[in-house]
Amino acid sequence: MENLKKDLVKLLTENAKYSYSDLAAMLGVEESAVKNAVKEMENDGVIVKYSAIIDTEALEDKLVQALIEVKVAPQKLKGFDSTAEEIYHFKEVTSLYLMSGGFDLAVFVEGKDLGDIAAFVSEKLSVIDGIIGVQTHFILKKYKIEGQIVKKGDLFERELVQA
């Protein structure tokens, strides 16, 4: 069953829209085995959510996205978890990770414009107890999102410059 689950994770990561029958045919197993394995992984929290990968630059109503590096003074007996929990409840936060290196938390946020992001940082994030520093990086262009190349054809096309 564990090998089946590994294979299912790989296939569902590639395309979460595969049906149970598609997965069973690709793996050469019974559809019921696939269904049971998927349900078990959902119940165990291995599969957290099914979602589409969206290139927000292609949307009519574009969103501004940013990565915010956060330096935190860990709280006694709680470490980083209580600060992370306070942060991940904000609607602007799309992803949150504990990191090694020069900062502690990587917070990915989105808003309708730069002002939304600035307001989030100044009014919500920086006022949380234990946060000792933030650094905001705006995402300017996406080349690859969760393993998927965004624009294959014109990725390396540049304007010709002549001297």
Which pLDDT tens digit goes with each residue over 52-79? 877 777 777 889 999 999 999 988 888 8
**2-43 and 56-142 in the same fold:** no
Write out pLDDT tens, residues 105-114: 999 999 999 9
Q: Where are the domains of the chain?
A: 2-43, 56-142
User: Are the C-beta atoms of residues 31 and 21 closer than 8 Å to each other?
Assistant: yes
Question: Please, what's the largest Cα pairwise distance for the chain?
Answer: 66
CATH architecture of the domain covering 2-43 = Orthogonal Bundle (1.10)
Asked if residue 155 has pLDDT above 50, the reply is no
CATH placement of domain 56-142: 3.30.70.920
Rounded to whole angstroms, how far apart are CA atoms 94 and 113?
Answer: 15
Structure tokens, 135: 């650094």
